[in-house]
Structure 1
Amino acid sequence: MKRFLIALIRWYQRHLSPALGASCKYVPTCSQYALIAIERYGAMRGSLMAIWRILRCNPFSRGGYDPVP
């Protein structure tokens, strides 16, 4: 499952993200954060961390530096 999620995120980064343009307010970007979180914490916990991060990435957030713990 972990490898599948990582492949899916990398596909998004290579194919969809360039077409959509830069829109993430955070560093690292949400997709990079998801990759790091899944690699570090596994599929379940890493995915939950990534989902929480994506929910915070909205027009009302300040953004900025937010590394994976």
Structure 2
Amino acid sequence: MLKWLSIRFVLFYRAHAPMSIRNRCRHTPSCSKYTLISLKRFGFIKGWRLGLHRIYRCRPPNGGVDYPPHK
């Protein structure tokens, strides 16, 4: 249930957040896409932990291609 709500929350954010915020991500895939992948692969707790850690890293000089780890 929490995983499903989290995925819906991220999808809502992607649909309604201003483009000025969403276009700031320095990584590929974007931080929200990374969080969606993490939530689907690892579930609620580890998915959010990986997603929040990614958002924390999303600042200079970091950037580039960065995908969530495989199970």
User: Would you call these one fold, judging by a TM-score over 0.5?
Assistant: yes
Match of residue 42 from structure 1: 43
Structure 2 regions of 5+ residues with no counterpart? none
SS of residue matched to 1:59? coil
Pairwise CA RMSD: 1.3
CA distance in 2, matches of 1:2, 1:32: 15
Q: Aligned partners of 2:60, 2:11: CA distance in 1, in Å?
A: 25
Q: Normalised by the size of structure 1, how large is the TM-score? A: 0.90
Deviation (angstroms), 1:58: 1.3
**Residues 5 and 21 of structure 1: CA distance in aligned 2, closer, same or farther (over 3 Å):** closer
Cα deviation code 1:9-64 (max 9, x no counterpart): 00000011436351100000000000000000000000000010000001332x00
Percent identity of equivalent pairs: 34
| Residue matched to 1:67 | 67
TM-score by length of 2: 0.88
What secondary structure does 2:17 align onto?
helix
5+ long unaligned stretches in structure 1: none
Alpha-carbon distance in structure 2 between the residues aligned to 1:21 and 1:30: 9
Over 3 Å counting, the alpha-carbon distance change for 1:40 and 1:17 in structure 2 is farther
Structure-1 separation of matches of 2:38 and 2:22: 23
SS in 2 for 1:49: helix
